[in-house]
Amino acid sequence: MSVLIDKFDVFAGGFWLTLQICVLAGTGALALGAVMAVLRISPLPPLRAVGTAYVTIFRNVPLTVVMFFAAFGLPALGSNANFLRIPVLDSVFSRLGTDLPYFRFAVIALALYTAAFVCEALRSGVNAVPPGQAEAARSLGMTFTQNLRHVVLPQSWKAAAVPLGSVIIAMIKNSALAGFFGVVGDLAQSADQLTSAEGYPFVPVAIGISIGYLIMTVPLGLLLDRMERRQAVAR
Amino acid sequence: MKTELSVLYDAPGPRQKKITWIGSILTLVALLAAAYVLVYRPLDAKGQFSMELWGPYVAPANENFDQLWDRLGFGLRQTLAAAVLAILSSLIFGTLLAVLRVQLRSVVRRTYTGFNLPVAYLLRGLSWTLSAVTRFCVEVFRGLPVVITIFFVGRGFPEFGISLEILWYLVIGLTIYNGVVIAEILRSGMEGLPGGQREAAEALGLSPLQTTRMILLPQSFRIMLPALISQIVVILKDTSLGFIISYEDTLNIAKQIIGVLDNPIQTYVVIGTIFIGVNYSLSKLAQYVQHRLARGRRTSPTRTGAAGTELETEAVAGTTT
């Protein structure tokens, strides 16, 4: 068990790096997912088609394929994702500015993949708003944007919150894959490093890594369960 | 799609229709131009459309064509084998776990009045502990990434002297995670049933196990079928994680192909297309089933409505992992 204390900095560092990936990819996914959701409910058919195609593609491809594409395809195109070296951000998230691009690739892949599910969660929220609300707004003479801004979207957050939360939990779990694509030092890669390269016993390392992930996922899950139960009563 | 749109817009009049048409054509042109400038030109500049890179996939005359599809077919078969085994064992394991948890729940409430006091307390303590242990295991394995579970199985089993074929590590890892998720789906289905179902079954004199097996479980399967199918899609997608314990699945084969032919983009486009084809048809099947079920339950419109929205959130939540 001593590895848990001796190597505490490795576990803590891994936890911190995994958290960084999740925060960055989560922000990207929420932004992109919101854009896609807007596209999917827009009045113009070609824009809707773009949104639908995006969601269909990324929902049906395994994240592993997306990760592989980012890690091997982007270099083949001569891109190191340098646009993510954002000046102020990379002093907080130090990995963004490094010469090794794998952290940036992992963030891109995770954000692209998660955005499809964010879009679906947001859309299911919009769908959950009773039709009478939007109809009433229209009959008051509100335009499409006013309707969305003042009537539909404020109500859709409530229904979208729980699905969005489970999307975020799934993303945290999916981020473990980054460790197998060259991101050195996150929780998953630390498990590999400690057991195979440094020869520590397996069980304590497994416990430490598991605790690292459970700290992130279980409280969020319990929070969501509570929200769901309260909503069920409200309904 | 239709109903959802009509909520946000008025039915378009002649002027609005004209505006929509013109707007559509303009955006279509803009999108095509953007695709040409941002996607086609850079790819073309890097020579990514050359027959040298695509040939092995699309031209039967190419020297590598037969061998390549032979290998890919092998990889696909390996992926499917692992997926089918994982799906079957997760369903079985999940059902058993769900039944166990529902049983334990009813056992915990029993007071054992027929026994003398210490025995009754012992039995209650025992059932409470069992229930707590299963709950703990479910929370832990639901909260762990499936990658980590597979990795732990692949690394941990040999450590304890259990050596199997790599296929089984993958299947076991997938089963632990997805079995727990399926158990939770089925359990929430059983608990969502109207209380009258259980009460009626008990009034007929069925034992708790019979009640679960003959009354609650079949209905839970029926209600939760869409969520179960999307979880099956998840299992199929997650099978691609086999590469982390070097299982020879589609992605591992792809890596070997890229090592020889050096065409990562083409390879992943082809493999992505295959995955999309299989998973998309499965998702369509799920939608069809949901549609059929909604039609079959028309007798109780209000409850179907509530169950419908719940299912949608479940399905969204389910497909994410």
Report the distance separating Cα B164 and Cα B85, nearest Å: 15
Instruction: Find the residue in A nearest to B243 (Cα).
Output: A64
Distances (CA, A) of A158 to A161, B3, B320: 6, 21, 20
* CA distance, residue B251 to nearest chain A CA (Å): 8
Tell me whether residue A222 is exposed, middle or buried, using C-beta atoms within 10 angstroms of its C-beta: 0 to 12, 13 to 18, 19 or more: exposed
Judge: B140–A163 Cβ closer than 8 Å, yes or no. no
Q: Which DSSP category does B160 fall into?
A: T
Q: Check residue B312 and give its pLDDT.
A: 43
Contact B277, B228 (CB under 8 A): no
* pLDDT beyond 60 at A197: yes
The mean pLDDT value for A142-164 works out to: 84
Report the distance separating Cα A147 and Cα A153, nearest Å: 8
Structure tokens at B195: 């209380």
Residue A112: pLDDT band with limits 50, 70, 90: very high
Judge: A68–B279 Cβ closer than 8 Å, yes or no. no
Query: Taking the model in full, what pTM does it have?
Result: 0.83
> Taking CB atoms and an 8 Å cutoff, what residues of chain A touch B139?
218, 221
Q: Find the CB nearest B317 among A63, A76, A163.
A: A163
> Taking CB atoms and an 8 Å cutoff, what residues of chain A touch B251?
64-65, 68
Q: Which DSSP category does B115 fall into?
A: S
pLDDT in tens, chain B (321 residues): 444 555 666 677 788 888 888 888 888 888 888 888 777 777 777 777 776 667 667 666 677 777 778 888 888 888 888 889 999 999 999 999 999 888 888 777 777 777 777 888 888 888 888 888 988 888 888 888 888 888 888 888 877 777 778 888 899 999 999 999 999 899 988 888 888 888 899 899 888 888 888 888 888 888 888 788 888 888 988 888 888 888 888 888 888 887 777 777 888 888 888 888 888 888 888 778 778 777 665 544 444 444 444 444 444 444 334
3-state secondary structure of B109: helix
Distances (CA, A) of A107 to A59, A71, A99, A184, B102: 17, 11, 15, 14, 40
Q: Dihedral of CA B122/B125/B127/B133: which sign?
A: negative
Judge: B147–A152 Cβ closer than 8 Å, yes or no. no
The size of the A-B interface in CB pairs under 8 A is: 176
Question: In 3D, which of B13, B64, B60, B321 has the Cα closest to residue B182?
Answer: B321
Distances (CA, A) of B241 to A116, B108, B277: 20, 39, 19
Q: Check residue B313 and give its pLDDT.
A: 41
Report the distance separating Cα B302 and Cα B291, nearest Å: 16
Tell me whether residue A5 is exposed, middle or buried, using C-beta atoms within 10 angstroms of its C-beta: 0 to 12, 13 to 18, 19 or more: exposed
Instruction: Find the residue in A nearest to B237 (Cα).
Output: A62
> Taking CB atoms and an 8 Å cutoff, what residues of chain B touch A73?
264-265, 268
Judge: B268–A69 Cβ closer than 8 Å, yes or no. yes
Distances (CA, A) of A223 to A5, B135, B212: 30, 17, 29
* CA distance, residue A97 to nearest chain B CA (Å): 25
- State the amino acid at position B269 in one-letter form: V
> Taking CB atoms and an 8 Å cutoff, what residues of chain A touch B229?
none
Q: Which of A21, A65, A144, A175 to mutate to test the interface with B (most CBs of B within 10 A)?
A: A65
Judge: A68–B268 Cβ closer than 8 Å, yes or no. yes
